[in-house]
Amino acid sequence: MTLAVYPGSFDPITNGHLDVIAKAVRLFDEVRVAVLHNPSKQPLFSLDERMSMIREVVSVWPTVKVESFRGLLAVYAHDVGANAVVRGLRSVSDFEAELPMAHMNQRMNDSAVTVFVPSSLQYADISSSLVKQIAMYQGPLTDCVPASIERALRAKYVGGNA
């Protein structure tokens, strides 16, 4: 049985993330979306909000589960017995940032292989931070996030407040 963890902040999950999950579902028996709980960061959405938003949009895939983790990804991946860590790549600069992390994670846990999944071209410009900026100024989010995530973003920025 192959188990991949797909870690991230997911603040919020985007169509780019879902595109990576759809690809990972084809490669692995189980995919665990692992939401980072980082108490030193102030996300827009709480950990519980992010997890329930993700659960709603991944419910179409029976082999996808949603969990949270704190601390080192390599330790979490070891503890759950993951064969792979999935990371999406939108650009060469993503790769430059991701490769040192993959090497360091491999040093700490060589049983989980980092698998880079190239984003589909139509999602290469989408990031959670850009989505939040657009939402803050009531801009269009068509094709960037699922409808339920757009509603959650609009509710956060109601009245034009950050």
Residue ranges binding ligand PNS (CB under 6 A): 7-9, 36, 72-74, 101, 104-105
> Please, what is the minimum distance in Å from the beta carbon of residue 54 to ligand PNS?
12
Whether the Cβ atoms of residue 54 and residue 66 lie closer than 8 Å to each other:
yes
Residue type, 94: D
Catalytic: 128? Answer: yes
d(CA 44, CA 156): 8
Catalytic: 91? Answer: no
Catalytic entry in 23, 32, 119, 128 = 128
Neighbours of 16 (CB within 10 A): 22
> Please, what is the minimum distance in Å from the beta carbon of residue 69 to ligand PNS?
8
Q: What is the DSSP letter of 160?
A: G
Q: Which is nearer to ligand PNS, 101 or 134 (CB)?
A: 101
Catalytic entry in 26, 40, 41, 93 = 41
d(CA 7, CA 132): 19
User: Which residue's C-beta sits nearest to ligand PNS?
Assistant: 8
Catalytic: 17? Answer: yes
